[in-house]
Amino acid sequence: MCIENIHDATLHLILHPKSNMTFPTSLYSRRDYLRSLAGGFGSLAFAALASRDAQASTALNTGIKSASVPKQPHFPASAKRIIMIFMQGGVSHLDTFDHKPQLQTDNGKSSGKNSNAKLFGSPWKFKKHGECGQWVSELLPHVARHVDDLCFLSGMHTDSQAHETAVPFFHTGNQSQLRPAMGAWALYGLGSECDNLPGYIATQDLRAFGQNHGSAFLPAAYQATILNPEASNPVANLKCPHLSTQQQRRQLNLLQQMNQQRLDRDDVNSEVEAVIASYEMAFRMQSTVPDLLNFSTESKETQAMYGLNSSNNKLRDFGRQCLMARRFAEEGVRFIEIGTGGWDHHFSIAESLPTSTSIIDQPIAALLTDLKQRGMLDDTLVVWAGEFGRTPAAQNGNGRDHNNRGFTIWLAGGGVKPGFNHGMTDEYGKEAVEGRVHVHDLHATMLHLLGLDHERLTYRNGGRDYRLTDVYGRVVKEILA
């Protein structure tokens, strides 16, 4: 795989005496193929499929092609897709996975010479779980049962300690300048395998923290489609508000007829072909997205497992996100980001944190179980993370402040070591001291698992080659299975 192929997003052919003149011959065969079809709405989908299967390397100069044609990774991938579970606000590692007995022992002692804040031992009991013996607090009993599938990064650190900068840093590798989100990079590198769904989906609108799901200078086709499973229009403009199905079908038939007539007049017109294909896909999305969000087709057990019957509304909604993630992953969506906010526990953590963990514990465990029993965990990378961790010293007497110097996240499936821990923080959990992994390193590793070399996945903008990892990043080889 060479990088040039990746640049075909904007295919510019220049007539130059020294270059071999190339032209997309497949246009012709494709056009003939289109003509040979009986025509009418629905048939063009095959054309799109056909070109996809043929790996039309002479991809047309349009977004739909560049985003939807799958591309070869740089090297064999262990993960085909990523489900990222983002906990906005910053989860306290000290009360979930990073057990610090010394902190509990020194509870109430001064946290340092220049600070009035006192050390604050976790109010929760920790126990070792699984064969790997990972410590997990009593707040996450369901997830605790899966530790042998999880790969913990307990020495995480990041640059920024404010949400407004740490959230975009986590998503784009840059805290203040606009850069493409990691999902956009993944889609740019690998294309999409879906014909009826966008390749990059996110459920949380994080725009209060800057652009976290955008394509920035990458072609716009790589931006995330925001999908809100609870909205009447889960994807913008998905539902037809004014026509009956039959009428809309009639309308689209007329539309595609017009487009076909235009195409006939133009003889060769890849843009019109792309427009035609985009209506096909949009029409299919109108039914596939609601179908995928209609969980009644799932067994009662599955629904219960994800907490869809829970009396806790927030748990139920998050359970729906998790189930949705599995279903979209099954359909081949490349990058799926789900999550919840509300992890910013500056006050009364003893009351507020259990509320947050109770929402996510059961659904995440269900997702892991479900992916595993379907054999999907092997090629799906699950990433669970917040933008940073929290301090061992108390804030406001009973809460915890932001801590970017040490925190814990975990990965699962997709080629990482199961039941494994890498890295650690100091005795109080304040700072990562061993096996330190920076967010840039995490990005490099995620791309690596997708078969992409973070140093070769570049895009030229303003005369410079840009990467997700800027000039940093190291693949955390220690955790590769």
Partner 1 sequence: MLKNLTNTLLLFSFAVFCPLSAADPSIEASTPQVDTSESTADAEGIAFFESKIRPVLIARCYGCHSADADEIEGGLLLDTREGIRRGGDVGPAVVPRDLHGSLLLESIRYESLEMPPDEQLDKSVIDDFTKWISMGAPDPRDGKSMTAPKANIDLEKGRQHWAYVPVVTPDVPSPDDAGGTANWCRSDIDRFILSGLHQADLQPVGDAGPMQLLRRIYYDLNGLPPTPDQISTFQSAYRNNADAAIESVIDELLASREFGERWGRHWLDLARYAESNGGASNYLVPLAPRYRDYVISAFEHDKPYDKFVREQLAGDLLPAGSDIERNEQLIATAFLSLGLKDMTIRDQHRFRMSIAQEQIDVFGRAFLGQTFACAECHDHKFDPISTEDYYALAGIFYSSQPLVGIQDKHTGYVFELATLAGHEAMFKGDNYAEFRHLQTKKRNSYSRLRSKKHELLNKAGLSKASQKEQSQYLSSNPAIDHLAKQLEEATAKMDDFYQRFAEEIPRSLIAIRDIEMPTDVAVHLRGEASDLGEIAPRGFPKVLVNDATPEINRDQSGRLELANWIASQDNALTARVMVNRIWLHLFGAGLVDSPDNFGTTGQPPSNPALLDHLAGRFVAHKWSVKSMIREIMLSHVYSLDSNHNDHAYQRDPANRLHWRMNRRRLDSDSLLDSVQLVSGKLQRGPPPERLAIFAQEDQRLKSFNISGWRKPTQNRRTVYQPLFRSFVPADWSVFDFPDPELLRGQRDTSTVPTQALYFMNSPYIVEHSKNMAKLLMDEAKSSDASHLATQAYLRVLTRYPTQTEFEQCREFLTDFVADDQQSSREQAFAAFCQTLFASAEFRYVY
Rounded Cα gap, residues 382 and 366, in angstroms: 13
38 binds partner 1 (CB under 8 A): no
Closest to partner 1 by CB, 50 vs 240, is 240
The pattern of x and - marking residues 130 through 159 that bind partner 1 according to CB under 8 A reads ------------------------------
H helices, E strands: number in the chain = 14, 17
Instruction: List the one residue from 44, 91, 221, 432 that touches partner 1 (CB under 8 A).
Output: 221
The residue behind tokens 């009644």 is 296
**CA dist 239 to 64, 201, 282, 379, Å?**
21, 18, 11, 32
Find the shortest distance in angstroms from Cβ 184 to partner 1.
Answer: 12
| Residue 153 amino acid letter | L
The piece of 103-111, 121-129, 267-275, 400-408 that touches partner 1 (CB under 8 A) is 267-275
DSSP alpha helix (H) spans, 270-312: 270-293, 300-305
464 binds partner 1 (CB under 8 A): yes
Is-contact 171 205, C-beta < 8 A?
no
Q: Beta strand 432-434 with 424-425: parallel, antiparallel or unpaired? A: antiparallel
64 binds partner 1 (CB under 8 A): yes
- Tokens in use for 446? 């995620």
**Hey, which residues does 336 pair with through a beta bridge?**
83, 201
- Helix/strand/coil for 458: coil
Find the shortest distance in angstroms from Cβ 362 to partner 1.
Answer: 32
24 binds partner 1 (CB under 8 A): yes
Instruction: List the one residue from 160, 303, 321, 404 that touches partner 1 (CB under 8 A).
Output: 160
- Helix/strand/coil for 419: coil
Closest to partner 1 by CB, 210 vs 319, is 210
Is-contact 133 403, C-beta < 8 A?
no
The piece of 127-135, 238-246, 355-363, 420-428 that touches partner 1 (CB under 8 A) is 238-246
The piece of 100-108, 280-288, 302-310, 327-335 that touches partner 1 (CB under 8 A) is 280-288
- Tokens in use for 115? 């600070």
255 binds partner 1 (CB under 8 A): yes
Instruction: List the one residue from 83, 136, 190, 281 that touches partner 1 (CB under 8 A).
Output: 281
**Hey, which residues does 102 pair with through a beta bridge?**
none
Closest to partner 1 by CB, 198 vs 414, is 198
- Helix/strand/coil for 393: strand
| Chain-centre distance for alpha carbon 167 | 14
Find the shortest distance in angstroms from Cβ 67 to partner 1.
Answer: 7
Instruction: List the one residue from 73, 90, 183, 214 that touches partner 1 (CB under 8 A).
Output: 214
- Tokens in use for 127? 């126990």
The piece of 62-70, 337-345, 357-365, 381-389 that touches partner 1 (CB under 8 A) is 62-70
285 binds partner 1 (CB under 8 A): yes
Find the shortest distance in angstroms from Cβ 296 to partner 1.
Answer: 24
The pattern of x and - marking residues 161 through 180 that bind partner 1 according to CB under 8 A reads -x-xx--x------xxxx--
